[in-house]
Structures are given as C-alpha cells and as structure tokens.
Amino acid sequence: MTTTDGITCGASYGTLNGKVALVTGGSRGIGAATALRLAQEGADVAVTYVNSKEAADDVVRAVEALGRRAIALRADSADAEEAAGAVERTASMLGGRLDVLVNNVGVGLLGPLESLSLADVDRVLAVNVRGVFLASQAAAGRMGSGGRIITVGTCMTQRVPGPGGALYAMSKSALIGLTKALARELGARGITANIVHPGPIDTDMNPADGAYAAGQAAMTAVGRFGTVGEVAGMVA
C-alpha cells in the first residue's frame, strides 16, 4: 500500500503494463492522484512541476514503490519550449516512447472582470491553452496506435455558478474545441483524445471545508465535493 498526500494506491491492475505516461502538473491534487493511478495500472510515469519539487519527488517515490519507473521534470507550461520539451524529455528518459499524455496543469485565476490585468490574461492563456496545445502536438508526434491524450477541464465550461470566472472559463472552454479537433485528426492513427470536466474537487486549492465550499457542494447532485481519486479513476 502506497500513500502520498492522502492518496492511497494498492496493487497494480496491469492494464497499462509497458506504457509510459506524462502527467503535467503532477506534483499535487488531481495530477498526483492521476500519476499514482496510472502507475497502479502499470505505467511508468513522468510528472511536471514548477515550484513544488518536494511534492513531485514524493509522487516519484510513491510511483517507484509500486514497482514502476518515475521521474519529476521541472517545466513551466507557460514557456513554449518547456511545454513541448517535457514530452521529449519524458520519452527520452523513459525508453523512447510516450503512450499517455494527461494535460492536467492549469491556472485557476478567479476574480472580478475589472481586476484582471493583461498579464493575468496572458499567463492563464499561456498555461491553460497554449501549453496544452503544444504538449498535445509534441505528444502526437511521439505516439503510435493506442495513444491517449486526456485533458482536465472544468464544469465551468458549461455552468458558471457565480461571477469571477470569466478568464478561467474562457481558457478551459478552448480545450473542448481542441479535444474535438484532436480526436478527429488523430483518430485514424488509433490515438484518442478526451476531456474530463470535474466539478468542485477537494484539493488544497479548493478545500471541501473552505470558505466557499458549502455553496459549491449544494450545487452538486450528490451534495459533496468530489475526490482526487474519483477524477483519477475517470482519467485511467
């Protein structure tokens, strides 16, 4: 049994034996849970981080405890070269292949419309849209039949429960069009593209006991926050 940051994994299921996966923003929250779940399924896993090296190293150790190879790569998805370069580094360090890309990294900048600066707009679009596109483009160049590109979106692409979400919702909505286009373009090669839209999830960025949690939970069908493990299971 392997545990990191409240995420527990048991024995490998083996459905991804021999596969290599990259999870962007995989040092914590949904990304960390997804990395561990893919390892549990048998994949070797790379995770990217920007500031959370210690947390990323914890994920690496947890993956290795499951008997899989793992690496942590510092890569800022706002940097065009680093966004695509993480794919190339993963492939070169884990056997020359990439089978699964999980575009998990994202900037969740919320605030009144008039408070958002041009720098805010540029940063969010660079990470949430351009970085995802460039990583997906690089991954498609590495993948063969059976490749998987999975992007983490948000329920706010369809339902915005209150003010303050214009920039975030716009950036994540762009990923719907990208995913549909990727699926159409890559399907003939046996590569699928899908997007997962979580509702409120219990993470350190949006804790289930936070100041705005009760209202979010009340709007869900089950009356509670989701867990990172539930999202990771959907991705897997």
- Residues annotated catalytic, as ranges: 168
CA dist 140 and 99 (Å) reads 9
* Strand pairing class (2-4; 7-9): antiparallel
Are 135 and 80 in contact by the 8 Å Cβ rule? The answer is no
Whole-angstrom Cα distance, residue 87 to residue 135? 6
* Best CA proximity match to 22, nearest among 14, 13, 31, 30: 31
The radius of gyration computed from the CA coordinates of the chain, to the nearest angstrom, equals: 17
CB 103 within 8 A of CB 149: yes
Tell me what percent of the chain is helix, strand and coil, each rounded to the nearest 5. Answer: 45, 15, 40
Q: 199, 220 in Cβ contact below 8 A?
A: yes
